[in-house]
Amino acid sequence: MSDNKQETEVFEMASGDISIWVDGGIHLKVNTPGRDPVELGEQEALKLGELLVRLANEQRA
């Protein structure tokens, strides 16, 4: 993330295993040991998709 004085909002999902933030573009980081895959249930996957769409639409504005 950048060193801007303005604090960047970080969204966490899957018990903190996924972090998403906007800093010029949309950043998605997997926070698991060894970069193991993160399994999402149906509801988590839908929430992730909705968040990414919302952030992308905000970038267009």
3-state secondary structure the chain: CCCCCCCCCEEEECCCCEEEEEECEEEEEECCHHHCCCCCCHHHHHHHHHHHHHHHHHHHC
Q: What percent of the chain has pLDDT over 70?
A: 92
Q: Is the pLDDT of residue 4 over 80?
A: no
Q: In one letter, which amino acid is 48?
A: L
Alpha-carbon dihedral 47, 22, 1, 32, rounded to 10 degrees: 20
State in Å, rounded, how far the first CA of the chain is from the last one.
Answer: 22
Q: Rounded to whole angstroms, how far apart are CA atoms 39 and 41?
A: 7
In this prediction, residues 12-40 reach a mean pLDDT of: 95
Question: How much is the pLDDT for 24?
Answer: 92
pTM for the complete prediction?
0.82
| Residue-level pLDDT at 7 | 84
